[in-house]
């Protein structure tokens, strides 16, 4: 469950575990580990981006994650005292802003950032009213494992594991296929 990580460093411990461990063992530690932390993190994440594809957007994606990890290290004493829900939300938001670099070029990414951060251009309903239940389903699908409701825990596990809930997610995903690009 990488999306319930409290910080970017934890995210990378949970995300693509074999690649993360390989990068740590064979690049980061080979370069000297913490002795040259800033340089080594930049090299490791640039290499991680290059491993994903031979495009500048992948390298920038890697450097973006390097900036997240370095930024967390610099703000660790302030970050770690935040409530855990705030930490998870911030980490999720920061990580999510890097994903569009995987499927768009720089001009598309800049247009996305402009759309998100310029209220004049913001269009909350791309697909119409289907967006609201779709966003709610994706939110619960992503974060439900981290939510602790002792009295409802068994009930929530049952709801999440129900075949109809999964069928609804699959149908919602299929309905959004026309607007997506394939990765590989």
Positive or negative: CA dihedral 33, 35, 61, 141: positive
Q: Are the C-beta atoms of residues 120 and 86 closer than 8 Å to each other?
A: no
- Distance separating alpha carbons of residues 183 and 181, to the nearest angstrom: 6
For the chain, the residue count is 184
For residue 127, report the phi and psi dihedrals to the nearest 5 degrees.
-100, 5
Q: Report the alpha-carbon distance of residue 88 to residue 128 in Å, rounded.
A: 28
Query: Residue 16 catalytic?
Result: no
- First-to-final CA distance of the chain: 24
- CB atoms under 10 Å from CB of 88, counted, come to 19
Q: Which of 16, 52, 65, 153 is catalytic?
A: 52
Q: Which residues are catalytic?
A: 52
């Amino acid at each position: 469950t990488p999306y319930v990580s409290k910080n970017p460093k934890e995210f990378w411990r949970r995300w693509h575990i074999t690649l993360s461990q390989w990068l740590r063992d064979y690049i980061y530690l080979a370069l000297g580990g913490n002795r040259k932390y800033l340089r080594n993190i930049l090299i490791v994440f640039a290499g991680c981006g290059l491993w994903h594809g031979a495009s500048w957007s992948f390298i920038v994606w890697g450097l973006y994650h390097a900036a997240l990890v370095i930024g967390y290290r610099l703000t660790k004493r302030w970050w770690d005292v935040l409530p855990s829900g705030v930490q998870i939300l911030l980490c999720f938001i920061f990580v999510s802003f890097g994903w569009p670099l995987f499927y768009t070029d720089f001009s598309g990414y800049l247009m996305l950032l402009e759309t998100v951060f310029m209220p004049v251009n913001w269009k909350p309903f791309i697909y119409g009213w289907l967006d609201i239940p779709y966003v709610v389903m994706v939110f619960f699908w992503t974060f439900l494992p981290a939510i602790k409701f002792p009295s409802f825990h068994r009930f929530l596990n049952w709801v999440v594991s129900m075949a109809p809930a999964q069928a609804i997610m699959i149908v919602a995903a299929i309905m959004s296929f026309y607007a997506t690009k394939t990765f590989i």
